[in-house]
Amino acid sequence: MPMKPKLVDAFNIQIQAEFQSAYTYLGMAAWFAEQNLPGFAQWMRVQWQEETMHAMKLYDFLHNRGESVSLRPLAAPVKKYTSAVQVFEQVRKHELAITASINALYELALKEKDLPAQIVLQWFINEQVEEEALVVEIIERLKLVGSDGPSVYLLDRQMATRPAPVSGAQA
């Protein structure tokens, strides 16, 4: 059964939002690398991969439904920050906006009575709960260690241990 045009358009907008997220996190990775914090840079690169996989999950969903993907332009990411805490506060703000976007898309799928869209979006809703919780945990750790060099160094090393996403499990 074909999707309603309004829902297809909303999915395409969400694909752009997910790719924009990936691009944003890649910009943050660059900032961390320039600050000699390779662990944080690695964490952001993993986040970039994960967001790209999220975009592709939606992309594949549209194709599997026989719908057309319409890619939209991306804005250049911000690359000037004052601290790791500020970066992760921006991540939190961004993830809250993505959550709102996913929730609105789910509400549209409900309104349009598109059950397959509702099912795929439920995965995203659950993923956003995890994403938000993880970011809050990192912010709290950063606030705990403050600007203490050895503590930041140890936290940076810990951030580097984040494994790359597994294609089948994450997307």
pLDDT in the model for residue 170 = 43
Spatial distance between the Cα atoms of 97 and 104, rounded to a whole number of angstroms:
11
The set of residues, in sequence order, having a beta carbon less than 8 Å from that of 71 and lying 6+ positions away, is: 12, 15, 16, 19
- For 135, the token pair is 């970011």
pLDDT in the model for residue 168 = 54
Question: SS3 string of 112-160?
Answer: CCCHHHHHHHHHHHHHHHHHHHHHHHHHHHHHHHCCCHHHHHHHHHHHC
Mean per-residue pLDDT, 92-103: 98
DSSP 112: T
Every domain of the chain and the residues it spans = 5-68+81-162
- Checking if the pLDDT of 171 tops 70, the result is no
pLDDT in the model for residue 103 = 98
Summarised one tens digit per residue, pLDDT across range 41-89 is 999 999 999 999 999 999 999 999 999 999 999 999 988 999 999 999 9
Q: The pTM is what?
A: 0.92
Instruction: Decide if 99 contacts 132 (C-beta within 8 A).
Output: yes
Q: Which fold has domain 5-68+81-162?
A: Ferritin (1.20.1260)
Nearest to 12 by CA among 78, 90, 65: 65
Nearest to 22 by CA among 120, 128, 94, 130: 94
Spatial distance between the Cα atoms of 83 and 151, rounded to a whole number of angstroms:
14
3-state secondary structure of 148: coil
Mean per-residue pLDDT, 149-155: 87
pLDDT in the model for residue 153 = 87
- Maximum distance among all Cα pairs of the chain, rounded to whole angstroms: 58
- Checking if the pLDDT of 169 tops 80, the result is no
Spatial distance between the Cα atoms of 19 and 27, rounded to a whole number of angstroms:
12
